Structure 1
């Protein structure tokens, strides 16, 4: 009759004589007991009560008994063994014999770690550096770490560099969360060749069976216009031009960044902002020839006159 931890706390005693008695919850023992016969109906319940009233992060870390939450972006998920300095709990220095024993413990703790743990530590250090360069949120980095762990488990690391695989994982996470970052942005932040990054990305998508959606072009319009300090009316007119292009079905198969840059360029002309195609090319990472071709197609289809 004893059950382990379950999310379903609506338990009742099976005896007919106990149906009229309520179930009693013992929070200290983590058990639910029948009020009639005293039978333990549920045990090993999780303690969901709050243990402190700390209102700052510092108070929370001091009073919490569980520590910070585990994270996939750490090689040991935040559950590492930490051997502190050569002092006891009262702050007094340890004796020479005890100090020698703890030094040996630190040495063997370091030696006992596997090569996989060391490689994950280097990979996630690089991932955090790319996060700072690209300004990406924590949930996207967490997703990238999850993808990289799947890559390691699938044994796709042989013959490929760690930097290219972690960069490809980060790009895939950006695609899944619709964060506007191009392959060139990821390649520059990870210091890898775009060709190698693209090749490893295709391998990850194929081997892991991922289905990445296409970027939303409007996110690139916001990114480019904010970086170039364009007027709000210019940005809104670019959104309208893009909406009309999608209605005319001329955006299918086109580069989303080039489409966004061309829409912004036309909007700048309409609002009197004199910005050359070369500046849009440098900012968006797309050649000015591509932007010019997209601009001509948009003007011809939408019948726009300068």
Structure 2
């Protein structure tokens, strides 16, 4: 809102306007001539009357009450405040009632879900994921509780798969190995649960009439992240992105993983730069083996003329060494 704007009646042109706000009819009226200046005024006052004589009586403004609703957990947070005190004067009944109340299925479900949501947020924060990805992972985990195929799986495995699926849906470049290192869940188990979750949500969207949009992390996002960790120059990064896009579009490394493609492309371009990096350094950053990197590099070397066309001269790169 621009505080320099002054509401003035166009008919009276009074420099000190007498404006009346009629909240009952929603009108903004000029008090001098009666001209209606607006007809959609929102009443921002209290929603009911306050009968407090002074502020010392403890009468707060009742226009806004209650905590903000949680879009992730819905009304589940309201159940968290319900509890039974263990202090009962030494009779022991409060302790028994609190234990019985804690064993209720609904209360246990609420407590477990809140704990898992905090755990997912903590894990996402450790690998630098954004708030959108974190919220997506929590929503996916909450929705996955209705899948009977996952009822016997540990919560840690499901959380790891939900984090990886949230990264894929939001086009965030995170590998299986990074999720494995974060959650200590085997890569094989994450892959299995990821497929189950992807099929579950795809079927759920079809039943609700929603379009299934599964965004994937492109090689470009991985290239820029790994190039940044290798501290490559901007010109080398740009050349890596261009070569990576050509390799991806022409299916030169079809059948190989995205990480193998990205690592071999970076090694392919870095070998022509002034500050080359070893295959061991690139393999360590990307998370693939040195042998896989060099095998993919040999395939790229066979297509070197098409890949570095209009790139080598533009970026000042040197000739590519032989295998």
Query: 1:189 maps to which residue?
Result: 182
Q: 2:276 aligns with which of 251, 266, 274?
A: 274
Q: TM-score if structure 2 supplies the norm length? A: 0.64
Structure 1 range deviating more: 248-257 or 264-273 = 248-257
Aligned pairs, number: 242
Gaps of 5+ in 2: 1-21, 27-41, 47-62, 204-211, 309-318
Structure 1 range deviating more: 193-202 or 167-176 = 193-202
CA distance in 1, matches of 2:44, 2:100: 38
Contact 2:280/2:290 (8 A) holds in 1: yes
CA distance in 1, matches of 2:74, 2:288: 37
- The answer on 1:203 being equivalent to 2:196 is yes
Contact 1:242/1:263 (8 A) holds in 2: yes
- TM-superposition CA deviations, 1:164-215 (whole Å, max 9, x none): 0011011111100000011111111112111111121122223333664442
RMSD, matched Cα: 3.5
In structure 2, relative to structure 1, the CA distance for the partners of 1:231 and 1:142 (3 Å cut) is same
Contact 1:76/1:117 (8 A) holds in 2: no
1:36-185 equivalent positions in 2, closer than 5 A: 65-72=65-72, 74=73, 77-82=76-81, 110=102, 113-185=106-178
Contact 2:224/2:241 (8 A) holds in 1: no
From the CA coordinates, give the structure whose radius of gyration is larger.
2
CA distance in 1, matches of 2:285, 2:235: 20
CA distance in 2, matches of 1:149, 1:240: 40
**Partner SS state of residue 115, structure 2:** helix
In structure 2, relative to structure 1, the CA distance for the partners of 1:161 and 1:105 (3 Å cut) is closer
Q: 1:288 aligns with which of 278, 290, 310?
A: 290
**Partner SS state of residue 114, structure 1:** helix
Structure 1 range deviating more: 176-185 or 139-148 = 139-148
Contact 1:167/1:197 (8 A) holds in 2: yes
Query: 1:301 maps to which residue?
Result: 303
CA distance in 2, matches of 1:264, 1:244: 13
Instruction: Give 1:235 deviation, angstroms.
Output: 0.4
Contact 1:258/1:286 (8 A) holds in 2: yes
Query: 1:239 maps to which residue?
Result: 241
Query: 1:226 maps to which residue?
Result: 228
CA distance in 1, matches of 2:269, 2:137: 35
Instruction: Give 1:247 deviation, angstroms.
Output: 4.5
**Partner SS state of residue 149, structure 2:** coil
CA distance in 1, matches of 2:25, 2:292: 67
Instruction: Give 1:142 deviation, angstroms.
Output: 1.2
Contact 2:219/2:245 (8 A) holds in 1: no
Instruction: Give 1:300 deviation, angstroms.
Output: 1.0
Instruction: Give 1:241 deviation, angstroms.
Output: 1.2
